[in-house]
């Protein structure tokens, strides 16, 4: 009989990394269970390449979760999480109740376009595969007018993604010979791109957008969108569009909010080094984790952090079970930023540094672009190669 039950909620990059690292360290000594409503894991970076038309086959860029976990000896429960009791570490799904000794919550952020009136009908949700793919098809048809990339709320996952989308849109329009006839602009509540990454990264992105004639409209909080008039209403002004790419509002999933884990930020406060919540043995990683940095901003929602946090949590749980050494998450991270034309920049550094994140910017290069594309399938490939 296996001694402890470790329950991981969520089959995204953080959850899969946690479960696979646990399997590597503790093997079959303890029961590892992962719950997710989806059958497949999909790396969201491919949504960008669905926009550009470089990737159109969903099956080619996803992996079956059951297959990935089965060979590692991890139990996969494909079901919807309905209720979480952090005190007893008990989780109810549509079909069963699971009691755990350790609970790792990696359910990610829930996308809710409907929080902005008119938004679901008005734009393409490029943070979902079908929305990105449909938007990419539409780009092949437009030959004049106005295209908007709208960030509805902050925070949002993959902070570089809306800007990368704008660069790829601009490149596609140029290749089609219609760029001069199409106005392209980004609308955001932010006052600077990728704020947590610092001024150097933000200034670089603004400069690159300016070079390409991409409008950058800051501090625009959208109130509603009128799909009949093709009009976005902000707190301060309005904007017209013909085609709209949307980054929808993000919130914590219902079971997380309802169990009392979230605070006034709407997300789950955790210890910055261990990711443990105020409930002992209950951890939250990835997009759900609320970690305040020394400059008052928050750690961005990014897959690279979810992976590092997942490894940290897995090793600490294993250590408590008498296997291996513990670990700390130190706030190190990086991000490749695709600019079109086979170029990408890269920011890397320590987000926990005092008095503010210390980030080094690598300027746009082909090497960075190649590295980003090589990284795209890291999680899937690493899981596939484990025994």
pTM of the model: 0.95
Question: Rg for the chain (alpha carbons), in Å?
Answer: 21
**23 and 117 within one domain:** no
Q: What are the pLDDT digits (tens) for 32-44? A: 999 999 999 988 8
- Provide the pLDDT confidence category of residue 289 given band limits of 50, 70 and 90: very high
For residue 344, being part of any structural domain is answered with no
How many folded domains does the chain comprise? 2
Question: What is the per-residue pLDDT for 2?
Answer: 60
CA dist 320 and 22 (Å) reads 12
Tell me the average pLDDT across 230-248.
97
Question: What does the alpha-carbon distance between residue 132 and residue 351 come to, in Å, rounded to a whole number?
Answer: 30
Burial call 38-62: b when 16+ CB within 10 Å, e when fewer: eebbbbbbbbbbbbbeebeeeeebb
CA–CA distance, 255 with 34 (Å, rounded to integer) = 16
CATH of the domain at 81: 3.50.50.60
Question: What are the distances in angstroms from CA 198 to CA 98, 175, 288, 323, 378?
Answer: 43, 32, 22, 39, 27
Asked, for residue 343, whether it belongs to a domain, the answer is: no
Q: How confident is the model at residue 28 (pLDDT cuts 50, 70, 90)?
A: confident
Residues forming beta bridges with residue 99, ordered by sequence position: 90
d(C-alpha 175, C-alpha 208), whole Å = 18
Q: What is the pLDDT of residue 85?
A: 98
Supply angle C-alpha 242, 245, 248, rounded to 5.
Answer: 130
Please give the mean pLDDT across all residues of the chain: 94
260-271 pLDDT, tens digit each: 999 999 999 999
Quick check: is 362 in a domain? no
Residue 271 belongs to domain spanning? 5-109+252-332+379-385
How far apart CA 314 and CA 319 sit, in angstroms, is 9
Residue among 289, 339, 283, 376 at smallest CA distance from 7: 283
What pLDDT score was predicted for residue 387? 44
């Amino acid at each position: 009989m296996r001694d402890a039950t470790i329950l991981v909620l969520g089959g995204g990059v953080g959850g899969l990394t946690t479960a696979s690292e646990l399997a590597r360290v503790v093997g079959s000594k303890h029961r590892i269970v992962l719950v997710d409503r989806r059958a497949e894991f999909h790396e969201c970076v491919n949504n960008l390449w669905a926009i550009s038309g470089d990737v159109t086959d969903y099956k080619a860029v996803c992996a079956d979760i059951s297959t990935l976990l089965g060979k590692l000896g991890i139990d996969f429960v494909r079901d919807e999480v309905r209720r979480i009791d952090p005190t007893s570490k008990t989780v109810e799904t549509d079909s069963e109740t699971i009691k755990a000794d350790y609970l790792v919550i990696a359910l990610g952020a829930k996308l809710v376009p409907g929080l902005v009136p008119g938004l679901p009908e008005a734009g393409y949700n490029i943070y979902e595969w079908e929305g990105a793919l449909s938007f990419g098809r539409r780009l092949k048809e437009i030959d004049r007018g106005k295209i908007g990339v709208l960030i509805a709320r902050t925070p949002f996952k993959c902070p570089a993604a809306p800007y990368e989308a704008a660069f790829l849109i601009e490149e596609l329009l140029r290749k089609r010979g219609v760029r001069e006839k199409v106005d392209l602009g980004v609308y955001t509540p932010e006052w600077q791109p990728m704020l947590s990454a610092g001024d150097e990264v933000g200034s670089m992105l603004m400069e690159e957008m300016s070079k390409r004639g991409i409008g950058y409209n800051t501090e625009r909080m959208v109130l509603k969108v009128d799909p009949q008039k093709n009009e976005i209403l902000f707190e301060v002004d309005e904007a017209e569009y013909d085609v709209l790419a949307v980054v929808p509002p993000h919130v914590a999933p219902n079971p997380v909010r309802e169990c009392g884990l979230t605070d006034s930020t709407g997300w789950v406060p955790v210890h910055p080094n261990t990711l443990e919540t105020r409930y002992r043995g209950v951890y939250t990683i990835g997009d759900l984790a609320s970690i305040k940095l020394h400059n008052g901003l928050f750690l961005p929602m990014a897959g690279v952090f979810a992976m590092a946090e997942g490894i940290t949590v897995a090793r600490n749980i294993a250590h408590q079970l008498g296997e291996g050494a513990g670990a700390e998450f130190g706030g190190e991270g990086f991000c490749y930023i695709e600019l079109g034309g086979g170029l990408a920049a890269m920011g890397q550094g320590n987000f926990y540094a005092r008095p503010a994140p210390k980030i080094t910017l690598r300027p746009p290069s082909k090497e960075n672009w190649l590295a980003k594309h090589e990284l795209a399938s890291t999680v899937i490939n690493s899981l596939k190669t484990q025994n």
